[in-house]
Each structure stands twice: as C-alpha cells, then as structure tokens.
Amino acid sequence: MNHVVSMKEYKFKNLDISKIITECLKCNTLEEAKNLQTQYEQYCDTPEIARSNLGYIFGYCDDKQRTKLYKLFSVSHPIFGQDFGRGKEITTSEAFVKGLTICKTQTRK
C-alpha cells in the first residue's frame, strides 16, 4: 500500500511538541517534509516563526533524529545556527554559554 503523505492534513492545534516531532520523523522524503512544513507555516502566525519553532524543537532530538530532520526540513536552529545538526554539534557547555550570552543580552534591553 502506497501511503501518500502529501495528501495528509495535520491538525497542529491538537499536537504538542513531542507529537510534532513524531510527525516530522515520519517524513522520509523532501516532498513529505515540505508538505508538513508548509502546513505548519500556514498554522503559525508567520512562516519565520514556524521555521524557528521547528528548528528549535529538532534540537531536542537525539543525534540520528536531528540529522535526519535538519536534512529534510528547510529550517535551522534559532540559537545554534544553520550548521547545527548538519555536521556541527554543540556540547552542553557551549549550549550553556550561549544561553548565558542570550540572557545577558536580553536583560540589557
């Protein structure tokens, strides 16, 4: 049986972060990922917010999942950048320092 994912409609209102990740992980082709991402962009206030959200939540996946998702989806991590999940990983220490830097920058505003 050939499952046509491009026809699938996602009900994002009923999905939490883990369920969104689960749906994203079901994608195995660029077409499937583009379909899901396009629908999510239409659900969110702006496409930029949607891409930032997906890029951020993919950071919670394990290395194998994260590599797959960043390969399929046209997103990047909003804090760790475009290369994160695409060959450049970040240590917990680097993530902590990055978080501190962001906090310090935002508290000065």
pLDDT, tens only, 56-79 = 999 999 999 999 999 999 999 999
In the prediction, which pLDDT does 86 show? 92
In the prediction, which pLDDT does 102 show? 86
Number of structural domains the chain divides into: 1
pTM beyond 0.95: the answer is no
Question: For residue 30, what are the β-bridge partners?
Answer: none
Q: Which has more pLDDT, 72 or 5?
A: 72
- The pLDDT tens digits for 9-23 are 888 888 899 999 999
Q: Residue 26 is part of which domain span?
A: 5-107
HEC assignment per residue over the chain: CCCCHHHCCCCHHHCCHHHHHHHHHCCCCHHHHHHHHHHHHHHCCCHHHHHHHHHHHHCCCCHHHHHHHHHHCCCCECCCECCECCCECCCHHHHHHHHHHHHHHHHCC
